Structure 1
Amino acid sequence: MILLSDPRVSDTPVADCGEPLADIATCPAIALDPRERDEAGAYGRVRTGVLERLSSASERLPAGVGLLVIEGHRSPAEQARRFALYEDRLRASGITDPAELRRRTSAFVSPVEVAPHCAGAAVDLTLVDRDGVELDMGGAVNGHRTGDERWCPFDAPGLSPSARDNRNLLAGCLREEGFVNYPSEWWHWSYGDRYWALMTGAPAAVYGPIQVLSAGSCDH
């Protein structure tokens, strides 16, 4: 598995297309979990092209099943905070070699300079039924935060048949729209970032880091 700390990811060029961030809440076909949104709603935003593909992906799901986005765009400062937090947790477990620490941390939190979330290119999401109840995915979104790393990989061994079917259902609708999965996190999918470009063979990423300055304005 290629991790986000791999030099091949950071060596991938970026030719940002200039698309702005769009509020996921403007798309009625997609549910947005409010639990991790900041006051400006930045966690509920993605690039306009990503939102269009998410909308199309939702239409590929069977009746009564929908997408629930937990998180979209993330600021570089928040990304750096999360990276340091998980790195500290691994260091406390006895991992002290700097290279290994960075590699292990990047399995669940991307280095800020290549983070798909900071480019507005990634979403953490799951499936819900018509009542908004999350389907059985074999493990929680962001399960690494609670020590449930075993169930985080998309192809984690030991999943129940229903969890495997639901993960495949999620993957099917997203891959049809060009998204790629980060294999250590079943819930993380992205389009247009450096990792996506590397995995698909695209000549360059079309989305680079983007910072929300104020309501309605962005800086690449």
Structure 2
Amino acid sequence: MAGRCPLRYALILLAAIVPAGAAALPFDFVYLRDIDPTILQDIRYAGSNNFVGRPLPGYEAAECVVTRDVGRRLQAAQAELRPRGLSLKMLDCYRPVRAVAEMLAWSQDGVETTAGRRYTPRIAKQDLFRLGYIAVRSSHSTGAALDLTLVDLAADNSAVFDPAKDYADCTAPAALRAPEGSVDMGTGYDCSDLKAHTAAQNLTPQQRRWRNELVTVMARQGFVNYAREWWHFSLPGAGATTYVFPIRPRR
């Protein structure tokens, strides 16, 4: 049953298709850097700067992996932005099924953490799936969904995340929350809060303009925004099968 086979069966099937240690990506997937190296990347689940607070299984490299069609569409969006001094910045692309399973396990372990509260300041983590902030079956695992933001290339984007620092939660002013090296969208990435809904009203005019800019440039390439997350876009009809192959270093 496409996209809904048990994880163990999917892993066995994948092993039969993709030899261990194979350099090439399976199916029609590509590294985005091979299509457009000018698109910035900060793949958050490959490190500790995320709501789980650690790298997720399957993220063996901080690389954006997409289907070839999605990559070409992102390249076209980037070509529109670059002459204006802007760039796309990828935060998550293809997501292995095992990473989604880890998110589910984290949400149900009953332990609230400092990292988790930065991302869910007003929602208990066990409610994230019920409220639609995380999906049991993620469209990211089909290769048809993306998380991304915009970067002003003329701005100072040098600040980096310090895991030892006590940052404010994701709804706080940009100067107080964890740095993301991007324009101010009104909340941080992966913020599970009403303020992160794309059409939220409690934004400054500039924050609203940036969100509209991102939605517009992505819509021109056929991507549809998820209303509860200003950063999440998907390509309708691009695929229904979910995949389990890991994201390995690009060679």
Q: How high is the TM-score relative to the length of structure 2?
A: 0.61
Q: Tell me the secondary structure at the aligned position of residue 66 of structure 1.
A: strand
1:120: how far off?
1.2
1:173: how far off?
0.6
Measure the CA separation in 2 of the matches of 1:58 and 1:21.
19
- Distance 1:209-1:59 versus aligned 2 partners, 3 A rule: same
1:34: how far off?
4.6
In the alignment, is residue 151 of structure 1 matched against residue 195 of structure 2?
yes
Corresponding residue of 2:182: 134
- Distance 1:19-1:190 versus aligned 2 partners, 3 A rule: farther
- Contact 1:42–1:73 (8 Å) recurs in 2: no
Whichever structure has more helix as a proportion of its residues is: 1
Q: How high is the TM-score relative to the length of structure 1?
A: 0.69
Task: Trace 1:38-187 onto structure 2 (pairs within 5 A).
Answer: 40-41=60-61, 44-61=64-81, 63-87=84-108, 102-104=129-131, 107-112=132-137, 115-131=138-154, 132=157, 133-144=181-192, 149-187=193-231
1:121: how far off?
1.2
Q: Tell me the secondary structure at the aligned position of residue 103 of structure 1.
A: coil
The amino acid that maps onto 1:40 is E
- Contact 1:43–1:74 (8 Å) recurs in 2: no
Kindly name which structure, 1 or 2, has the bigger radius of gyration based on alpha carbons: 2
The amino acid that maps onto 2:244 is Q
Measure the CA separation in 2 of the matches of 1:94 and 1:109.
13
The amino acid that maps onto 1:159 is L
The runs of 5 or more residues in structure 1 that have no matched partner are 1-9, 11-17, 198-204
The amino acid that maps onto 1:161 is P
Aligned residue-pair number:
177
- Contact 1:46–1:121 (8 Å) recurs in 2: yes
The amino acid that maps onto 1:75 is P
Measure the CA separation in 1 of the matches of 2:102 and 2:208.
32
CA RMSD of aligned residues (A): 3.1
- Contact 2:128–2:134 (8 Å) recurs in 1: no
Measure the CA separation in 2 of the matches of 1:42 and 1:34.
5
234, 239, 242: which is aligned to 1:206? Answer: 239
1:50-103 per-residue CA deviation (whole Å, 9 max, x = no partner) reads 111111112222511110001111111111211332355699x7899xxx8753
The amino acid that maps onto 1:80 is A
Corresponding residue of 2:37: 28
1:214: how far off?
8.0
The amino acid that maps onto 1:103 is R
1:207: how far off?
4.6
Measure the CA separation in 2 of the matches of 1:120 and 1:52.
13
- Contact 1:87–1:101 (8 Å) recurs in 2: no
- Distance 1:161-1:101 versus aligned 2 partners, 3 A rule: closer
Identity of aligned pairs, percent? 29
1:139-191 per-residue CA deviation (whole Å, 9 max, x = no partner) reads 111112xxxx1321101121110000000000001001000111111101111
Q: Tell me the secondary structure at the aligned position of residue 77 of structure 1.
A: helix
- Contact 2:225–2:232 (8 Å) recurs in 1: yes
Measure the CA separation in 1 of the matches of 2:29 and 2:243.
8
Measure the CA separation in 2 of the matches of 1:214 and 1:94.
30
The runs of 5 or more residues in structure 2 that have no matched partner are 5-25, 47-57, 113-122, 158-180
